[in-house]
């Protein structure tokens, strides 16, 4: 019952705030997306936080930088292009209560882009909240959140035969050295350091601009 009441409060509060938000600031958003954007601060306040880190500094058995990613325009990008920088991998979605994190992620990227690269991995695996194609996802991110960090082609991040190679590496401790944690919902965040070592996992409830993330980037 408590969760139902909280859900109703989020929707009602979001609706009230949404009415006050000019449509011109959400040019590529439908009504649901505007509601979710408005309700985002309340969603974050009520979300549980989970942070895992590589306390023992376990090293991977497979070189992260040998992996390649397929961008949302179909081009192939080797991850060794980012050697010397920390890398944050985030699974994303356009119709999620956490979609507002695109804004925080862009601010984080602009603040640290001399030493940090953020890569978004759109997926429809959590609540069917990313139904668009690659072109519409790119447009949504650019128009509504001013995203400049790389976005890859939509795919799977959970363990399966079609799981993307980067996520196979991130979620198998026999490969990355210590972590089996898969994303628990949209906007989970993994940080790989300059040496290609997985160092942190943050769940959806941790703000990209929060203390925990800043401390991880400062190590």
Query: Which residue numbers are catalytic?
Result: 96
Q: How many domains in the chain?
A: 2
User: Which among 200, 203, 204 has a CA at the least distance from the CA of 116?
Assistant: 200
Which backbone phi and psi does 190 adopt, to 5 degrees?
A: -115, 140
What average pLDDT does the structure give for the chain? 89
pLDDT at residue 17 tops 60: no
The CATH number for 161's domain is 3.40.30.10
Residues 120 and 76 both lie in one domain:
yes
Residues 6+ apart with CB under 8 A from 146: 106
- Give pLDDT tens digits for 55-93: 999 999 999 999 999 999 999 999 999 999 999 999 999
Tokens of 211: 């203390």
User: Which among 90, 18, 6 has a CA at the least distance from the CA of 48?
Assistant: 6
Residues 22 and 106 both lie in one domain:
no
Give the pTM.
0.86
Q: How many residues does the chain have?
A: 219
Residue 94's pLDDT is 95
Could you list the beta-strand ranges (E) of 32-188: 51-53, 68-70, 76-78, 86-92, 116-122
Residues 134 and 207 both lie in one domain:
yes
pLDDT at residue 8 tops 70: no
- Give pLDDT tens digits for 118-152: 999 999 999 999 999 999 999 999 999 999 999 99
Give the structural domain span for 10: 2-45
Residue at a domain's end among 30, 45, 60: 45
């Amino acid at each position: 019952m408590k969760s139902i009441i909280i859900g109703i409060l989020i929707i009602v509060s979001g609706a009230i705030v949404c009415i006050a938000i000019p449509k011109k600031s959400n040019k590529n958003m439908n009504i649901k997306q505007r509601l979710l954007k408005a309700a985002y601060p309340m969603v974050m306040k009520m979300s549980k936080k989970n942070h895992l880190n590589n306390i023992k500094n376990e090293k991977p058995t497979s070189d992260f930088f040998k992996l390649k990613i397929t961008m949302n325009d179909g081009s192939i990008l080797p991850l060794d292009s980012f050697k010397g920088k920390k890398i944050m991998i985030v699974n994303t979605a356009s119709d999620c209560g956490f979609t507002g994190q695109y804004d925080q992620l862009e601010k984080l990227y602009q603040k640290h882009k001399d030493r940090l690269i953020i890569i978004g991995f759109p997926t429809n695996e959590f609540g069917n909240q990313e139904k668009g194609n690659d072109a519409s996802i790119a447009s949504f991110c650019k128009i509504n959140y001013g995203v400049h960090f790389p976005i890859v082609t939509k795919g799977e991040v959970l363990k399966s035969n079609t799981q993307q190679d980067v996520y196979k590496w991130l979620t198998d401790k026999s490969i990355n050295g210590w972590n089996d944690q898969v994303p628990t919902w949209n906007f989970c965040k993994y940080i790989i350091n300059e040496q290609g070592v997985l160092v942190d996992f943050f769940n959806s409830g941790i703000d990209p601009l929060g203390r925990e993330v800043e401390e991880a980037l400062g190590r």
